[in-house]
A and B are shown apart, each in its own frame.
Chain A
Amino acid sequence: MRIRMLLIALLALSWLPTSPAAQTAEERGLAIAAEADQRDSGFQDFIANMTMILRNRQGDESVRAIRSRTLEVHGDGDKSLVIFDEPTDVKGTAFLSYTHAIRPDDQWLYLPALKRVKRISSANKSGPFMGSEFAYEDISSQEVEKYTYKYLRDEKLERLDTFVVERYPVDKDSGYTRQVVWMDQAHYRAMKIEFYDRKNSLLKTLVNKGYQQYAGQYWRPDAMHMENHQTGKTTTLQWHDYQFRTGLTERDFDKNSLKRVR
C-alpha cells in the first residue's frame, strides 16, 4: 500500500508541470493501473467460495470446489489462503501465498495426509492452477509493480466505455510477453484480458461477468471465463458468498493456520 501511495503521489507530481495531453502512453497506462489499484484498496480482508469448471475441447467437464481468503497487507502484496474441498482426494489441501510486488512470492502447500507444510518454489508462475486454464500468475494478487504499462486507446466493449491498456510482466518467469486489458472507465474494472504467450501469439482470453459491488466500494465478478485458443480448453470460475471485512488477521494466514483449516 505504501508503495502504491508513493507511486500515486509521484504520478500526481509528474502531472503538475505538464497537461494530461502531454502524458506519454506509458504514463497514462500506469496511471490507469494505479487508479484501479487505489479504488480497490482498503478492503482489509475478504472471503469467497469458488466453483471451478474445467472443459476440454470435447466438452468433458471436471469440477473443483475451493474456498479463498485474502488479507490486505500495507506496504507489501496481499496474503491469501486457498483451501480445496473438491475433488475429494485433495480435500483439506491448502495453499498459502504471501505475494510481493517485486521479489518472489513466498508459498507453502499443506498436505493433510502427511500433515506436512511444504515450502514450495514460486517460480512456477506460468504453471496451471489445479489443471485449469488459469496460471498461478493469473490468480495471484495483481500488484501495480508486477507490470509496466502502455495505454493503447479508448474503446466501446458491449456498450461500456473502456480503456485498453497493454501491460508487460516484470518477472522473467512469467509465461506472457504481454496482456491487453479492457478496463471500464466508470469503475476501473477489468472486463476482458488477452494473454500473449512467450512467442507473442494469442494464448488465452479472460472475460469477467456479473460484477457486483461489496462493502459499498469493491467490485468483484460472479464469473470469470478463461478460454485457451491454442488447446480449445476453457475454465469458468463461479464466485459465491463474497464477504468483506470479516475480521481476519495475520494469524489466519500463518503456517499454523494451514494445519487447522479444513
Chain B
Amino acid sequence: MNSPPRHHASLTRTLLAGALALITSDATAGAWSGHAALQGRIYTQSPADPRQHDDVGSVSFQPEYYHSWNANRDSFLLVPFVRWDQHDDERSHADLRELTWTHAAPSWELRAGVRKVFWGVTESQHLVDIINQTDLVEDPDGEDKLGQPMVNLAWVRNWGTLDLFVLPYFRERTFPGSTGRLRPPLAVDTDQARYESAREQRHVDAAVRWSHYLSDWDIGLSHYSGTRRDPRLVPGFDDQGAPVLVPHYDLIQQTGLDVQMTRGAWLWKLEAIYRHGQGDGYYAATGGIEYTLFGIGDGSADVGLVAEYLYDERGAKATTPFQNDVMVGLRLALNDVQSSAALLGAIVDSDSGATFYSLEASRRLGHQWKVDLEARAFVDVPVSDPLYGLHRDDYLQVELGYYF
C-alpha cells in the first residue's frame, strides 16, 4: 500500500499560503469533476503461480476539484485516486495524484504541491520522462503515475522555458502482490525496499529542463539527479522465508533529450538518455516516425502509422526488455460523434523474436459514459527476457467509465 507522501515544512507552508489565498481572494466558485469506472480483466491462460487468478474485477474513482482566482493567474487542483481490486491487496490502493497550487506571472510560473509532469514525444516507451514514479499495479504499460511532491519554478522567456524541480520525497514503485498477475515469477516485496542513499525516501532529488519550439521543431533537454524510479529487483526472502524480489533504488544522474519535427502529415521523433550511477554509464534511445493518412473511408476517419526503434547500449544486460526492439503501430480515429478510436501495436525483440502485442480501443456511450477495451499478449518470450514473468498473462480488459 502507498502511504500518503509527507511534505517538507517549506512545501507545507507554500501550500498553506496558497490555501489562504484561495479562501480570502475574489475567487469564483470551484468545480468538481472526475470519473468512476468498473473494470473486468480475463486472462486467457492459467496462472504460473497457483495463488493467482483467472479473472478479476475492480472499481476505481478519481474525483477532481479545480479552482482558479486572480484572473486565472492562480489555480488550485486536487485529484485523489482510489482503486479496489477483487484479489490483489497491492492493487487495491489510494493515491494523491494532484494537490497543486500554480501561480503564473508574466515571465515565470511557480507550481508547488503534489503533481504529475510528462516529458517526451515517443509512443512505445518514455525514456526521458522521469519526474513521476510509475503506478505499475494500474497497468503494465507504465503510463499511470503516482503523484510526486515538488516545487517547480518555470522561467518563461523568448529563448524557451527553463524548469527547475526540487523533489523532496521519493515515491516507491507499486508492484502487483503475490495474488496479482502481470508480475515477475517471484512477487516483489516492496516492504523491504533498499536505498543507496541513507536518507532513503527523504533524499532530495532535483531536475532541470529547457524546452522550446521553433517552427517545425519541439525540443527538450533535461537533467535529473537523484533516486532512480525503476528499481533493480534483487532476489531475497520475505519474513516467512519465502523467496521474493527486493527493489533496490540507486542514486543516478540522467541527461535526456527529446525532439520532434512536425512536417506535413509526418512526425519525426527522438528520445535519448545517458545515465550513470548504477554501474557503468549507458546510452538508450527511442526514435521513429508517425505518419497520418487523413480522411480515409467515408472521408472523416484518420489512420496513423507508427514505427519506432528502441535501443539500449547494455544489450542483453539491460534491465529493460526493450534493448534492440522494433515497434510498429496502427492508430485509427473515426472522428465520429462517439470519438471512436483504436491503437494496435506490437513491439518485437530483434534478438529473440519475443513479441508484445497491444490493442487499445475506446468509444463514448451517450454523453457521460465511455467504454475502453484493452488486450495484451506476450508471445515467444524467452526465460532470459525481463518480460518472461508475464508470458502466461495475456489478457482482455473491459472498462466502463462514468465521467462527470
Considering the complex, give the chain A residue whose CB is closest to the CB of B31: A262
The proximity string for B residues 327-352 relative to A, scoring 1 for CB distances below 8 Å and 0 otherwise, is 00000000111110000000000000
The reply to whether B156 and A254 form a contact with Cβ atoms under 8 Å apart is yes
Considering the complex, give the chain B residue whose CB is closest to the CB of A132: B337
The verdict on A87 contacting chain B, using a C-beta distance below 8 Å, is yes
Residue in contact with B364 in the complex, picked from A87, A120, A123, A127, CB distance below 8 Å: A87
The proximity string for B residues 101-121 relative to A, scoring 1 for CB distances below 8 Å and 0 otherwise, is 010101001000000111011
Which residues of B sit under 8 angstroms from A131, Cβ to Cβ? 335-339
Which residues of A sit under 8 angstroms from B31, Cβ to Cβ? 262
B interface, over-half SS: strand
Residue in contact with B294 in the complex, picked from A63, A90, A119, A126, CB distance below 8 Å: A126
CB proximity to B under 8 Å, residues A224-262: 249, 251, 254-257, 260-262
The reply to whether A121 and B266 form a contact with Cβ atoms under 8 Å apart is yes
The reply to whether B302 and A106 form a contact with Cβ atoms under 8 Å apart is no
Q: How far is the CA of A109 from the CA of B121 in the complex (A)?
A: 12
Q: How far is the CA of A117 from the CA of B218 in the complex (A)?
A: 11
The reply to whether A127 and B33 form a contact with Cβ atoms under 8 Å apart is no
Q: Chain B: how many interface residues by the 8 Å CB criterion? A: 48
The reply to whether B72 and A116 form a contact with Cβ atoms under 8 Å apart is no
Q: How far is the CA of A261 from the CA of B154 in the complex (A)?
A: 16
One of B1-9, B13-21, B257-265, B381-389 at the interface: B257-265
The reply to whether B118 and A114 form a contact with Cβ atoms under 8 Å apart is yes
Which residues of A sit under 8 angstroms from B262, Cβ to Cβ? 106, 119-122
The reply to whether B403 and A87 form a contact with Cβ atoms under 8 Å apart is yes
The reply to whether B337 and A62 form a contact with Cβ atoms under 8 Å apart is yes
Q: How far is the CA of A120 from the CA of B263 in the complex (A)?
A: 10
The verdict on B401 contacting chain A, using a C-beta distance below 8 Å, is yes
Which residues of A sit under 8 angstroms from B267, Cβ to Cβ? 119, 121
The verdict on A86 contacting chain B, using a C-beta distance below 8 Å, is yes
Question: Looking at A89, A119, A128, A131, which has the most chain B CB atoms within 10 Å of its CB?
Answer: A89
Would you list the 6 A-B pairs with minimal beta carbon distance, nearest first? A88-B403, A89-B403, A124-B294, A262-B66, A123-B265, A131-B337
A-side residues, CB < 8 A to B, are 54, 56, 62-63, 86-92, 103-104, 106, 114-117, 119-124, 126-128, 131, 173, 175, 249, 251, 254-257, 260-262
Q: List 10 A-B contacts (CB under 8 A).
A: A87-B368, A89-B339, A89-B370, A106-B215, A114-B143, A121-B265, A126-B295, A127-B294, A251-B106, A255-B211
B-side residues, CB < 8 A to A, are 31, 33, 35, 66, 68, 72, 75, 77, 102, 104, 106, 109, 116-118, 120-121, 143, 154, 156, 161, 211, 213, 215, 218, 260, 262, 264-267, 292, 294-295, 300, 302, 335-339, 364, 367-368, 370, 401, 403-404
A87-B339, A88-B404 given; name 16 further pairs at CB < 8 Å. A62-B337, A89-B35, A89-B401, A114-B118, A116-B118, A117-B118, A119-B121, A121-B267, A124-B265, A127-B302, A131-B337, A255-B211, A255-B213, A256-B154, A260-B104, A261-B72
